[in-house]
Amino acid sequence: MTILGIDPGTNTTGFGIITWERNKVNWVASGTIELPEKETLARKLELIYDHVVDLAHTYKPNECAIENVFYSKNVKSALKLGHARAAAMLGALHKAVHISEYSPKDMKMAVVGNGNASKEQVQYMVKMVLGITKEMSFDESDALGLAICRAQRIKAPRASVSSWKAYIKAHPDRVKVK
């Protein structure tokens, strides 16, 4: 399975592509989409969309993990980030890629084991898990972290009530009922 992670932004958008096979994640590609500072917002969104379509066409991901909008004191920045997310999501949807959204806390918890981890800690763990030695930006490592988070969620989906009932029924000797 191939997973595309996207850390959206209107100045820099990070992307990371991993494969997940036999419970092992492997690094395929990663980088950033650098957007011209003096360009209009509409043109930046078009560039994000076009790059994500190209990534989806080239790497054919089955899944896409994108960072959710987090609380921001600056409403204007939050709105721009929302636009960047939408452009990236539409680019993935253009190639019929399933999209999952994760908060920065969820991603940090999945990668580092601490939802309040620093960007440096996330980057260190991403490089260790994927065996990457090259220098990378925080946007790039966050995107790879989102892809790793998605792989972990696919690997171990949250249990539902019915799955526990099925487990108890299948293994009555392992459960003590009071």
Kind and range of the H or E run holding 34: strand 24-34
Residue 112 structure tokens? 């580092």
Give residue 163's pLDDT: 64
Instruction: Provide the 8-state DSSP code for 174.
Output: G
Ordered DSSP codes for 88-138: HHHHHHHTT-EEEEE-HHHHHHHHTS-TT--HHHHHHHHHHHHT--S---H
Question: Which two three-digit tokens encode residue 19?
Answer: 């494969």
Active site residue 39: no
**Pairwise CA distance, residues 78 & 24, whole Å:** 35
Assess whether 173 carries a catalytic annotation. no
Catalytic residue among 7, 63, 106, 142: 7
Cβ atoms of 156 and 112 within 8 Å: the answer is no
| Catalytic choice (50, 101, 120, 139) | 139
List the strands of the sheet with 98-102, edge to edge. Answer: 24-34, 12-21, 2-7, 63-67, 98-102
Q: Is 139 a catalytic residue?
A: yes
12-51: per-residue pLDDT in tens? Answer: 999 999 999 988 999 999 999 999 999 999 999 999 999 9
Give me the catalytic one of 67, 106, 140, 142: 67
Provide the pLDDT for residue 177.
61
Give residue 54's pLDDT. Answer: 98
Token pair, residue 12, equals 């820099």
Which residues, given as ranges, of the chain have pLDDT below 50?
A: 161
**What are the structural domains, with CATH classification, of the chain?**
2-174 (3.30.420.10)
Averaged pLDDT score across all residues of the chain: 91
